[in-house]
A and B are shown apart, each in its own frame.
Chain A
Amino acid sequence: MRREKIDVLVIGGGAAGMAAAVQAANEGVKTVLLEREKKTGGVLNQCIHNGFGLHVFRKELTGPEFMEELWKELSETNVVVKNNETVLNILPETKEVIAQSPEGMKIYKVGSLVLASGARERPFNSLLIPGTRISGIFTAGVAQKMVNIYNRMPGKRVLIVGSGDIGLIMARRLKIEGMDVVGVVEIRAEPGGLMRNVVQCLEDFSIPLLLSHTVIEIHGRERLEGVTIAQVDENFKPIGGTEKFIPIDTLVTSVGLIPQNELIEDFVDMDPINKGPVVDNLMRTSVDWIFSAGNNVAIHDLVDFVYEEGKIAGKYAAKVAKGERLPKAKYHFKRGRNVGVMLPQRFTATEPFKIYIRPKRTLESADLKIGGKTYRRYAWKLRPSQMIDFIFRDFESLTSKDFEVEIEVVENG
């Protein structure tokens, strides 16, 4: 087996991993980036719509353009990019990483590690919809890859299940490519994706959105022939008498993303809400030489945030590889009212950092409170589909070590 000693190993060549590798290399350490596909870019490769880069590059880019900006940054560094290479195992006791590459198995002895393994789509089978498992059912990301990368159409007449952003984007995309898009069904009473996508993907193309509806049965023998949909009550139970048969040959699901952490979840502290590793503001996990950034830490809605996290993870991973001692994350955030996904969970209080929060439910207007003190008033609607970010720098008055983060509804606001 080939052995190689390196300073920083970055696992995953998406936005977070590329940003981390660039930053680590800029700190002057030997950095290797591993990507399991034949090219870096991750999901940006197939997200050909625009809306990326407003925070980081101050202009509106498409996914591939954002990716090319990162390729440019990478090309100006000494990062060694290894495509077609998959990590199989991380050995925490020896700081070794085992990877499968076209040249055979490899063992990397690392100074530090950045895990940027992203997320996978929640599969259709997790919805527990009765019926046979026939062809014609795709997750939105798979349909997106077929259409945008491989030039293949998934079918002729499609229904989308779930109104997450990728589902909305794919409704439009499949319509543009000539499919008959009969609609989007969403089990909740409000759309899962951003309102801008409801407007520009559905309303612009006259695609109906059926809220409080879901698919209750799959029909067909080999290829999908149709589905039964029904309205649901507030407990998501189908309401008798509302069933309707929809003839379709394709079903596309957009029902959420799952952070991918199989490589580390057995030995780092995990956050059950984020479904990712507990991190501090340096993007360090509970194992002090393993850093993490992007969608495997928590599902983000903007690639810009993922990029910024990658830069932080790369910077501090490089410092650890150089033997620098980093400050301890002595302070802890605890989730309070209305706080869902949240990161970081710990902080060092040595430099200002961003805290990201996804509200648990839609709030008309609300105050962000940390440790009982109000830091920011949001005078507009907060939705679970949109993460809020807030720069925390108030370290003067830190009298305790535990801080409750809460979003409190403003009365008469």
Chain B
Amino acid sequence: MDKKIICIACPIGCEINVHIEKDGKMKIQGNRCKRGESYAKDEILNPKRVLTMSIRVENGEMDLVSVKTDGSIPKKLIPKAIEYLKGVKIRAPIKVGDVIVENLLDTGVKVVATRTVLEDAILQLSNK
């Protein structure tokens, strides 16, 4: 069986052909780097994605902080992960790289902040 896959590892988007033998062995062609090979294998066996979205901040200069999974998670878990992260709320200040969820849905993958969000200056004053 042959499967055509467009690689998403980088903007080039190689068109990869995966030939799957009866015994499950894969022959991968069309990729221009090693990352394409592992992407194509994953795409057949267990497709994975990095999820980026934003979550609510309670007392920040912005209402939201952008986050990402610090590694890829199984594609089929993405809808569940989105629902879960919509329910998460955190407090400023937040620094880029701060861990927001230690272990997302038991995947072993962290969710980290991808930007700095300082405390809202006016809120900070009124709390003093």
Contact = CB atoms under 8 A, between A and B. Distances in A.
B54 A48 contact: yes
Interface in B50-93: 50, 52-54, 56, 62-64, 66, 68, 75, 78, 82
B13 interface: yes
Given A196-B10, A200-B8, A380-B12, 20 more contacts: A49-B52, A50-B50, A51-B11, A62-B52, A64-B114, A65-B96, A68-B115, A151-B64, A176-B53, A176-B82, A194-B13, A195-B6, A196-B7, A196-B9, A199-B6, A199-B13, A200-B49, A302-B11, A381-B15, A386-B12
A49 B69 CA distance: 11
Interface in A174-200: 176-177, 194-196, 198-200
Interface of B: 6-15, 32, 49-50, 52-54, 56, 62-64, 66, 68, 75, 78, 82, 96, 114-116
Interface string A42-72: 0000001111001000001110110110000
9 contacts: A48-B114, A50-B52, A50-B68, A62-B114, A64-B66, A65-B96, A196-B6, A199-B8, A386-B13
B13 A196 contact: yes
A57 to B, nearest CB: 13
Contact of A196 (B11, B53, B56): B11
B52 A48 contact: yes
A150 B61 CA distance: 11
A96 to B, nearest CB: 35
A387 to B, nearest CB: 9
A51 B12 CA distance: 11
Contact of A62 (B56, B64, B66, B78): B66
For the residues of B in contact with A, the DSSP-based class is loop
Nearest to A45: B115
A301 interface: yes
The prevalent SS among residues of A at the interface is mixed
Nearest to A302: B11
A60 B10 CA distance: 9
A394 interface: no
Contact of A301 (B7, B11, B56, B63): B11
B17 to A, nearest CB: 13
Interface in A192-228: 194-196, 198-200, 204
A67 B10 CA distance: 19
Contacts of B14: 380
3 tightest Cβ-Cβ pairs between the two chains A and B: A64-B115, A195-B13, A48-B66
Contact of B96 (A64, A173, A381): A64
A100 interface: no
